[in-house]
Amino acid sequence: MMQPGSAYFLDDAKKSSETHTLCVLVDNEPGVLARVIGLFSGRGYNIDSLTVSETEHQKHLSRITIVTRGTPMVIEQIKNQLDRLVPVHRVVDMTVLGPAIERELAMVKVRGKGEHRVEALRLGDAFRARVIDATIESFVFEITGNSSKIDQFVELMLPLGLIEVSRTGIVAISRGPEGMES
Amino acid sequence: MAKDMTGAEMVIEALADQGVEHIFGYPGGAVLPIYDALFQQDKIRHILVRHEQGAVHAAEGYARSTGKVGCVLVTSGPGATNAVTGLTDALMDSIPIVCITGQVPTHLIGNDAFQECDTVGITRPCTKHNYLVKNIADLPSVLHEAFYVASSGRPGPVVVDIPKDIQFATGSYFKPKEFPHKGYKPKIKGDLDKIKQAVELMRTAKRPVFYTGGGVINSGREASQLLRELVKLTGFPITSTLLGLGAFPAADPQWLGMLGMHGTYEANLAMHDCDVMICIGARFDDRITGRVDAFSPGSKKIHVDIDPSSINKNVHVDLPIVGDCAHVLEDMVRLWRTTSAQPDKKAMKAWWEQIDRWRGRKSLAYRHSNELIKPQYAIQRLYELTKDRDTYITTEVGQHQMWAAQFYRFEEPNRWMTSGGLGTMGYGLPASVGVQLAHPKSLVIDIAGEASVLMTMQEMSTAVQYRLPIKIFIINNQYMGMVRQWQELLHGGRYSESYTEALPDFVKLAEAYHAVGIRCEKPGDLDHAIREMIDVPKPVIFDCVVDRAENCFPMIPSGRAHNEMILGDAAESIESAVTDAGKVMV
**Is 60 exceeded by the pLDDT of residue A7?**
yes
Cα B138 from Cα B132, distance rounded (Å): 10
Hey, of B118, B122, B184, which one would you mutate to test binding to chain A, going by the most A CBs within 10 A of its CB? B184
Cα B58 from Cα B67, distance rounded (Å): 14
Identity at A173, one-letter amino acid code? I
Hey, of A26, A79, A84, A85, which one would you mutate to test binding to chain B, going by the most B CBs within 10 A of its CB? A84
Q: Which residues of A touch B491 (CB under 8 A)?
A: 5
Mean pLDDT over B480-500 rounds to 93
Are the Cβ atoms of B121 and A34 closer than 8 angstroms? yes
Q: Which region holds residue A176: left if phi is over 0, alpha if psi is between -120 and 50, else beta? A: left
Reported confidence tier of residue B61, pLDDT bands at 50, 70, 90:
very high
pLDDT one-digit tens code per residue, A122-157: 999 999 999 999 999 999 999 999 999 999 999 999
CA distance to partner chain B, nearest, from residue A175 (Å): 24
The alpha-carbon radius of gyration of chain A (Å, integer) is 21
- Contact between B321 and B191 under an 8 Å Cβ cutoff? The reply is yes
Determine the pLDDT at residue B577: 42
Mean pLDDT over B171-196 rounds to 90
Are the Cβ atoms of A3 and B183 closer than 8 angstroms? no
**Is 70 exceeded by the pLDDT of residue B132?**
yes
Are the Cβ atoms of A86 and B183 closer than 8 angstroms? yes
Q: Which residues of A touch B88 (CB under 8 A)?
A: none
How far from each other are the two terminal CA atoms of chain B, in whole angstroms? 69
Are the Cβ atoms of A34 and B291 closer than 8 angstroms? no
Q: Which residues of B touch A76 (CB under 8 A)?
A: 312
Mean residue pLDDT across chain B: 95
**Is 80 exceeded by the pLDDT of residue B286?**
yes
CA distance to partner chain A, nearest, from residue B153 (Å): 10
Determine the pLDDT at residue B38: 98
Reported confidence tier of residue B183, pLDDT bands at 50, 70, 90:
confident
pLDDT one-digit tens code per residue, B504-532: 999 999 999 999 999 999 999 999 999 99
Determine the pLDDT at residue B572: 79
> What percentage of residues in chain A have a pLDDT greater than 90?
84
Minimal Cβ distance to A38: which of B125, B132, B309: B125
Cα B314 from Cα A80, distance rounded (Å): 13
- Contact between B34 and B73 under an 8 Å Cβ cutoff? The reply is yes
Identity at A112, one-letter amino acid code? G
Cis upstream peptide for B554 (omega within 30°) = yes
Are the Cβ atoms of A34 and B308 closer than 8 angstroms? no
Catalytic residue list contains B52: yes
Size of the A and B interface in Cβ pairs below 8 Å: 69
DSSP state, residue B479: B
Cβ neighbours of residue B128 closer than 8 Å, sequence gap 6 or more: A86, B91, B149, B150, B154, B155, B156, B157, B158
Mean pLDDT over B324-353 rounds to 93
- Contact between B77 and B116 under an 8 Å Cβ cutoff? The reply is yes
Phi, psi of B201, deg, nearest 5? -60, -40
**Is 80 exceeded by the pLDDT of residue B287?**
yes
Cβ neighbours of residue B237 closer than 8 Å, sequence gap 6 or more: B208, B209, B210, B254, B255, B256, B270, B351, B352, B355
CA distance to partner chain B, nearest, from residue A73 (Å): 7
CA dihedral B445, B447, B450, B454 (to 10 degrees): -50
Cβ neighbours of residue A136 closer than 8 Å, sequence gap 6 or more: none
Name which of A70, A74, A92 is nearest A83 in CA terms.
A92
Mean pLDDT over B493-513 rounds to 95
Mean pLDDT over B351-369 rounds to 96
Name which of B269, B262, B294 is nearest B402 in CA terms.
B262
Determine the pLDDT at residue B585: 35
- Contact between B37 and B9 under an 8 Å Cβ cutoff? The reply is yes
- Beta strand B22-25 pairing with B45-48: parallel
Catalytic residue list contains B114: yes
Reported confidence tier of residue B584, pLDDT bands at 50, 70, 90:
very low
Are the Cβ atoms of B182 and A89 closer than 8 angstroms? yes
Which region among B120-124, B175-179, B410-414 has the lowest average model confidence (pLDDT)? B175-179
Are the Cβ atoms of B132 and A8 closer than 8 angstroms? no
Q: Report yes or no: A34 at the B interface, CB cutoff 8 Å.
A: yes
pLDDT one-digit tens code per residue, A34-77: 999 999 999 999 999 999 999 988 999 999 999 999 999 999 99
Q: Which region holds residue B503: left if phi is over 0, alpha if psi is between -120 and 50, else beta? A: beta
Cα B157 from Cα B56, distance rounded (Å): 10
Q: Which residues make beta-bridge pairs with A18?
A: A70
Are the Cβ atoms of A1 and B559 closer than 8 angstroms? yes
**Is 80 exceeded by the pLDDT of residue B424?**
yes
pLDDT one-digit tens code per residue, B159-179: 999 999 999 999 999 999 877
Determine the pLDDT at residue B581: 38
Determine the pLDDT at residue A3: 56
Cβ-based neighbour number of residue B89 at 10 Å: 26
**Is 50 exceeded by the pLDDT of residue B64?**
yes
Cβ-based neighbour number of residue A61 at 10 Å: 19
Determine the pLDDT at residue A182: 52
Are the Cβ atoms of B559 and A9 closer than 8 angstroms? yes
Determine the pLDDT at residue B84: 98
Reported confidence tier of residue B562, pLDDT bands at 50, 70, 90:
confident
Determine the pLDDT at residue B586: 30
Minimal Cβ distance to A9: which of B181, B291, B490: B291
Instruction: Mark which residues 53-72 of A lie under 8 Å from B by CB.
Output: none
Q: Report yes or no: A89 at the B interface, CB cutoff 8 Å.
A: yes
Phi, psi of B227, deg, nearest 5? -60, -45
Q: Which residues make beta-bridge pairs with B103?
A: B163
Cβ-based neighbour number of residue A104 at 10 Å: 23
**Is 60 exceeded by the pLDDT of residue B197?**
yes
Mean pLDDT over B397-424 rounds to 98
Mean pLDDT over B579-583 rounds to 38
Q: Report yes or no: A158 at the B interface, CB cutoff 8 Å.
A: no
Are the Cβ atoms of B311 and A80 closer than 8 angstroms? yes
Q: In chain A, whose CA is at the least distance from the CA of B146?
A: A86
Determine the pLDDT at residue B187: 93
Catalytic residue list contains B342: no
Which region among A73-77, A108-112, B308-312, B556-560 has the lowest average model confidence (pLDDT)? B556-560
- Contact between B269 and B290 under an 8 Å Cβ cutoff? The reply is no
Where does B38-141 show beta strands of DSSP type E? 45-48, 70-74, 97-103, 129-132
> What percentage of residues in chain B have a pLDDT greater than 90?
90
